[in-house]
Structure 1
Amino acid sequence: MRDFQRTFLDDLLSTASPSGFEAPSQRVWTEYVREFADEVSVDAYGNAVAVHEGDPDAPTVALTGHADEIGFIVRDVLDDGFLRIARIGGSDRTVSKGQHVTVHADEPVQGVIGQTAIHLRDPAKDEYEEISGQFVDIGAPDAETAREHVEVGDPVTFSTEVEELVDDRIAARGIDNRAGTWAAAEGLRRAADRDVDATVYAVSTVQEEVGLKGAQMVGVDLDAVDAFVAVDVTHATDNPDVDRERQGPVELGAGPVIGRGSANHPALVDLARESATGDGIDVQLQAAGTRTGTDADAFYTARGGVPSLTISIPNRYMHTPVEVIDTGDLNALADLLAAIANGAADAAPFGVDV
């Protein structure tokens, strides 16, 4: 990964983007893709689309990731100045207490999610409180002071930043799924560099974590797209606490993960695997027997059925403040997306033999 590409990744991961509040992250993304896209547009809810115009007779492929991350939202300001919060998306109540957070008010406000000291708790009664029972302490002595800084409806995220680990691995919050939007943008750039015949869209959707809402909008709006490739993270199963009996083997550093089954169209699975082989890209396979849990679940039922595929980034500790990926997997995924775009013209039309 070159320096400018890594800077783009770090900028995305350092920009808060909870569902419904993605605009700052989308600004980072659109600024980057304008350097090489033929056109960039943003819809009313903030879904961002960039396009490389190819041969009018060639197929059209969309490479997508979702910009939003999980988080919290201020739902009440208490008389004593503490803030009650609610979930944005699938926030994990077991990792939230005792964490630094940022309240994204008109001006960012730092706080912590309170955790009573171990000395003052009865260990026999320890339990994980629901998010609705937890609170943020911004240091305000009363509600009047707190309301000078925050108000109901302000989003809240963990304050963790990108940290370098060993062997080209990084830890950060919100890798799910700004890493996917990075890959979609980079896939578009690399496809444009190869001057592929296909018209290629890169898409950064909103509100995936609260029900694939942005994908539902984009699936209708991009009515000329012949195939969607949804990039997201998937669970790496190579850390000690994961039961591999329940989840198929996925390892960091072993390459991007191609989904099979459910929304994953077999013609696109074949195209992805053949593209990987042709370009010497190591990939892993993952079964999706019921649903993918990604934007592909919305794309493939749009407009009567649109061929779709999920390709994933192995990710440890999903939906925590310390998600971990291998940047080699991410870089290989961007290469794979460009290779898919390059092979699309020969593989189309995408259908099944019946």
Structure 2
Amino acid sequence: MINYSMNSDSIKFLEKYLNEFSPTGDEREGQKIWINHISPYVEKIQTDLYGTAVGIINPDSTYKLIIEAHVDEISWSVNYITEEGIIYVSRNGGSDHQIAPSKRIIIHTEKGFVHGVFGWPAIHTRKSSEEKSPNVDNIFVDIGVSNKTEAINMGVHVGCVITYPDQFFIMNHNYFVSRALDNKIGGFIIAEVAKMLIENSIDLKFGLYIVNSVQEEVGLKGAKMISQTIQPNVAIVTDVTHDTCSPMIDKKIQGDIKCGLGPVIGYAPSIHKNIRELIINTANSKKIYFQRLVSSRYTGTDTEAFAYSNKGVLSALISIPLKYMHTTVEMVHKKDVELTVSLIYETLLAMNNQFFIG
């Protein structure tokens, strides 16, 4: 087994990739960074009309295997501007209204970035008997204007995307902290797998399609489109899942998953037993420790988009434990990231050695 370990170049790519904005529906800038990084390690790059990017190794093969992640991050949209210039919002993906008050934001306009904040009434002005919790109906953005005309003159209009400016950092050497780790950490992982294949001169017997999909956060849309285009035989999806050892999470419902204990192999109707068992056998034979998670009906990831497309695609899911999903301080453990790269890489080698079909 070749043990994968992140080096300084890998960290620089991850930081640059995470810090760039890629809100659902406008993932172009983040996708550019990913494409630029993966280009030396693939034979061909293709994109579709909505921005999903694919790096291909051995593109002439008729047997096609996908490893996939998604690039889009949750965000907000300008929904209404009051006469006083206060901005109300709607969700673009599963943005959490409870974390919004006091957060800095950036509004993306044709004139450039407009900075602002999610305001909230001071504690002194709120009556305990009338205490209100933040929700999507009452959170609001203040960009420091006096009226609606000033906001419009700055380029702000209904439909502008709003993102958080929070940046990547490493906590106590082991944890990566950032917004958009869901699921740019997956995009990082599959790019590193492609890099390992080329650096180790692996001669694949199948076509490998490294897919970075768009619009996962609003219904797996990019994966649905690209699956129709590629028509793969196998899809191995990587995404994040909840660290259930964090406070206020019921393990009896959410499962028992912890950061630092390895990648999570999923069980669900959309996950094909043959592919899952091959991944598990690979992990066991290569001594890659892992965790297991059950999803009773669906995984909530792009796995369903591939599994149930075309005439059916043999699909599996490998997830990375994540703390504080859909916040600006999402956290993953460095060791989990490294082990997931190793597991996907070794699984591809196992499939290559036996040219796994069906």
User: TM-score range with shorter-chain normalisation?
Assistant: over 0.9
1:100 and 2:96 equivalent? no
- Name which of 300, 319, 329 aligns with 2:336: 329
Give the Cα–Cα distance (whole angstroms) in 2 for the partners of residues 234 and 29 of structure 1.
Answer: 22
Letter in 2 for 1:115: W
Structure 2 residue matching 1:34: 3-state secondary structure: helix
* 1:264-279 alignment runs, 5 A limit: 264-279=271-286
1:259-291 residue CA offsets vs partner (Å, 9 max, x unmatched): 012111111111111222233321111112210
TM-score (norm 1): 0.94
Query: Which ranges in structure 1 are unaligned for 5 or more consecutive residues?
Result: none
- Name which of 73, 79, 82 aligns with 2:77: 73
Aligned to 1:317: 324
Whether the aligned pair in 1 keeps the contact of 2:75 and 2:92 (CA below 8 Å) is: yes
Letter in 2 for 1:9: L
Aligned to 1:211: 219
Deviation at 1:110, TM superposition (A): 1.1
1:71-93 residue CA offsets vs partner (Å, 9 max, x unmatched): 10011222111211110111111
- Name which of 127, 131, 151 aligns with 1:126: 131
Identity %: 31
Aligned to 1:258: 265
TM-score (norm 2): 0.93
Letter in 2 for 1:120: T
- Name which of 28, 52, 61 aligns with 2:33: 28
Letter in 1 for 2:168: V
Aligned to 2:346: 339
Whether the aligned pair in 2 keeps the contact of 1:307 and 1:350 (CA below 8 Å) is: no
Letter in 1 for 2:48: D
Give the Cα–Cα distance (whole angstroms) in 1 for the partners of residues 250 and 264 of structure 2.
Answer: 19
Deviation at 1:55, TM superposition (A): 8.4
Aligned to 2:3: none
Give the Cα–Cα distance (whole angstroms) in 1 for the partners of residues 275 and 198 of structure 2.
Answer: 20
Report the count of equivalent residues. 349
Letter in 2 for 1:103: I
Whether the aligned pair in 1 keeps the contact of 2:44 and 2:59 (CA below 8 Å) is: no
Deviation at 1:132, TM superposition (A): 3.3
Give the Cα–Cα distance (whole angstroms) in 2 for the partners of residues 305 and 321 of structure 1.
Answer: 36
1:146 and 2:151 equivalent? yes
Deviation at 1:348, TM superposition (A): 4.7
Deviation at 1:241, TM superposition (A): 2.1
Give the Cα–Cα distance (whole angstroms) in 1 for the partners of residues 264 and 54 of structure 2.
Answer: 24
Which structure 1 residue ranges, 4+ long, deviate > 6 Å from structure 2? none
- Name which of 47, 64, 71 aligns with 1:42: 47
Deviation at 1:54, TM superposition (A): 7.4
Relative to structure 1, is the Cα distance of residues 297 and 175 closer, same or farther in structure 2, using a 3 angstrom cutoff?
Answer: same
1:10 and 2:15 equivalent? yes
* Deviating more after overlay: 168-177 vs 191-200: 191-200
Deviation at 1:133, TM superposition (A): 2.5
Give the Cα–Cα distance (whole angstroms) in 2 for the partners of residues 281 and 170 of structure 1.
Answer: 21
1:226-283 residue CA offsets vs partner (Å, 9 max, x unmatched): 2101110000111232221211111101111110121111111111112222333211
Structure 1 residue matching 2:245: 3-state secondary structure: coil
1:58-103 residue CA offsets vs partner (Å, 9 max, x unmatched): x432110011111100112221112111101111111111111111
